[in-house]
Amino acid sequence: MKAIEMTKPRGRQFFANPGPTNIPDSVLRAMDRPSIDFNDPDFQEVYADSFEGVKRVLRTSHHLFMYNASGHGAWEASLTNLLSPGETILVLETGFFSDQWAEMGEGHGLTVRTLPADRRMGIDLEALRAMLAADTAREIKAICAVHNETATGLMLPIDRIRGLIDATGHQALFLVDTISSLGSLDFRMDEWQVDCVVGGSQKGLMLPTGMSFTGVSDKGMEAHARAGLKRHYFDWSMMLKRPQKSFIGTLPVNLFYGLRESIRLLEDEGLDNVVARHTRLAEATRRAVKVWSGNNGPQLYCLNPTRYSDSVTAILMPEGHDAEALRKIARGRFNVSLGGGLGPLNGKVFRIGHLGDLNEPMLLGALAAVEMALRIGGVPHGRGGVDAAMEFLEG
Ligand code: PLP
């Protein structure tokens, strides 16, 4: 029989990348409109609805500042608006993204301490308690936690960390990166007394990349009044003088039409239901990976079941097998886009993003493509991962 010629894959691409994520059709339609003056009363209504909507998703009644920037911009805003040169921050090690946030802090002249962690297990909460208790001089001015480490599929228990900070009586600001958790995992800014939340548009909010934001507590605003790091474009005080109380410069008007729609979708489903859907799809993914891990196959990178991420699963390839080659097969043969390994995990890990606008068949399609790619690529694995996922989802 004549071999099938490889052609450009047809059909819709199954996008199982942890960010950006799938954009719902209704969000695309909402953004597909002519430009509008951002001072136009019609736009002001869309802006106000979206602004309040983001606060509801953050579960806060406090302050919100938004930026024309990807998540890095909101990271920079969080540090430069809250801290002064030479001050100490404590970064809880999770992986690639905690490293990057720490590096940014150093770049801004902060003294960065890190609570080290086994990256496959996550930080030891007892070690954090001891570190905070030992800081009797209260040198640590801010604690930075990445809620969901997108590079490894590991989640931090933000509520427990809050409780632990309180138990030691430490007064440090609590900064949380929710870039790959907001709108996907349970997050409660006010209840967990988070002083600064960093979020972005392109993951759980199901929008294109390009807009990010920070939620800020009253304690955060007090710290801002004293903070001496240099800033201009991201300066919250400058923003408060603008009619929109956010953004320096032109507002991304079309994104706001999309944001209003994505918030409508999230609230229509119900935030608790959104979280439950993510938990369910994540568990189905893990069931598949656990089957594949048989026969010395690929395995879950995260080894701590209490810290499994419900928005992204990182999968470690067996020794001697290249994750990039597997991704290439999935993309080239089946038009399925998987996430790659970041930093030192490049080539060792691939990632399945299961956050945002996703349902069972979309996930199963991605899992089936992975299982086929494992066979085609000659990667040892246990067979029947997709069956295990289906069995779980049938229940
Ligand atoms: N923090 C986390 C947890 C992320 O996943 C990312 C990006 O994926 C970032 C920060 C950086 O955000 P951006 O790439 O939008 O600048």
Q: How do residues 237-284 score in pLDDT, each as one tens digit?
A: 999 999 999 999 999 999 999 999 999 999 999 999 999 999 999 999
Q: How far is the CA of 177 from the centre of ligand 1 (A)?
A: 9
Q: How do residues 15-71 score in pLDDT, each as one tens digit?
A: 999 999 999 999 999 999 999 999 999 999 999 999 999 999 999 999 999 999 999
Q: What is the DSSP string of 233-288?
A: TT-HHHHHTSTTSS-SS---HHHHHHHHHHHHHHHHH-HHHHHHHHHHHHHHHHHH
CATH numbers and ranges of domains, the chain: 14-22+270-394 (3.90.1150.10), 33-267 (3.40.640.10)
Element (H, E) at 112: strand 111-115
Q: How far is the CA of 279 from the centre of ligand 1 (A)?
A: 21
Q: What is the mean pLDDT of residues 130-138?
A: 98
Q: What is the mean pLDDT of residues 192-206?
A: 98
Q: How do residues 283-300 score in pLDDT, each as one tens digit?
A: 999 999 999 999 999 999
C-beta 200 within 6 A of ligand 1: yes
Alpha carbons 189 and 196: distance in angstroms, whole number: 8
Which residue lies with its CA nearest to atom 8 of ligand 1? 19
Are 388 and 288 in contact, with CB atoms under 8 Å apart? yes
pLDDT at residue 1 is higher than 50: no
C-beta 99 within 6 A of ligand 1: no
Q: What is the DSSP-derived secondary structure letter of residue 43? A: H
pLDDT at residue 7 is higher than 80: no
Using most ligand atoms within 8 A of CB, pick from 152, 156, 180, 181 the residue to mutate for ligand 1: 180
pLDDT at residue 379 in the model? 98
pLDDT at residue 6 is higher than 70: no
Q: How do residues 167-194 score in pLDDT, each as one tens digit?
A: 999 999 999 999 999 999 999 999 999 9
pTM passes above 0.85: yes
pLDDT at residue 116 is higher than 70: yes
Q: How far is the CA of 296 from the centre of ligand 1 (A)?
A: 32
Closest ligand 1 atom to 149 CA: 3
Tell me the average pLDDT of the chain: 97
pLDDT at residue 8 is higher than 90: no
pLDDT at residue 9 in the model? 74
Are 50 and 259 in contact, with CB atoms under 8 Å apart? yes
Taking alpha carbons only, the member of 260, 185, 170, 184 closest to residue 219 is 170
Q: What is the dihedral of CA 9, 10, 12, 13, to 10 degrees?
A: 0
Q: How do residues 86-112 score in pLDDT, each as one tens digit?
A: 999 999 999 999 999 999 999 999 999
Q: How do residues 346-372 score in pLDDT, each as one tens digit?
A: 999 999 999 999 999 999 999 999 999
In which band, very low, low, confident or very high, does the pLDDT at 341 lie, cut at 50, 70 and 90?
very high
C-beta 101 within 6 A of ligand 1: no
Q: What is the DSSP-derived secondary structure letter of residue 129? A: H
Residues 6 or more apart whose CB falls under 8 angstroms from that of 371 comprise 288, 292, 381, 383, 385, 386
